[in-house]
Structure 1
Amino acid sequence: MENNQEENLTSPNQIDSGIETKWLGEVTNLLKNLLYPSESDEPIEWINFKSSGSPPWTISDLEFYQGLPPNVAVEEITAEDFWEPVTTMEDWYGEDEKAQTTKFLELKSILEAHLKNFQGFRAGQTEVDLYLLGQLNEKEWGGLKTKLVET
């Protein structure tokens, strides 16, 4: 017989380690309709996974945990390289651009408050997978993934 008591169901506000992550709901809400600008503005997704490795990550670690084929060119970038294009408020921005930048600034603030050991990576050419990863705890990592189109 199946037990569906509410207290026995997995909370969407917990990661596998059981750590409360109410902030993750805020991240999910911010990611709705938020696009990372490139030649083709692309959505951003939250990813998380277990890792027994300790920081800093290597390119080989990213290839392993994200299942990237060995022929994909991968390079490490700084967290600031990830944030700079989306958190700089330009004088010429209209209301939509200002709202997007404000959402990115809020997203950055939440992630910086809950993750540590940030690392960024670019994987691929022309269609680039862009990652910003941080450590949730000793065994789990999480972060953002999006795609850049650069021709």
Structure 2
Amino acid sequence: MIATAFDQATARDGAHARTWVVLVDGDPRQIRLLQAEAKRRSVSIHIVLDLIHVLEYCWRAARCLHTADDTAAEQHLTNADMSAGGWDMTAPSIGGHPEWIDDAQYPTCPICARAMDYIGLEEAQDPEGDPIAEGTTYLFLDASCGLAATIYQQT
């Protein structure tokens, strides 16, 4: 499929005079294949991440932290103080700044080698919402490469 798309682009711009833009949903495998095909064909491409899909991933993350009927997920995603860490960081959350138990740890993206962005935290809970572990899982994302990671720290 990717080779076919490059074939069509080459038919339209065989001299590579135009800017080639590729819209992706953040799938790391797809991005690697696009980059490899561009390199093979000696074509410079500009990869654009579809932010609608990124928002969908954020909603999925919110639904991992909250039940389907819990309005707190929507509150976390629409809270005006989200980027400033305006909510209780001792409870599962999305956004804000990490309240580290130990020293700060930011995972490195294995594709681009940049530090990943913190997106939230989660505490292990049973189905009733009671804590089942003495620690916190920190959630990270590299949206440009479409990869996520977690780090666990225990009290």
TM-score, normalised with respect to structure 1: 0.33
TM-score, normalised with respect to structure 2: 0.32
Rg larger for: 2
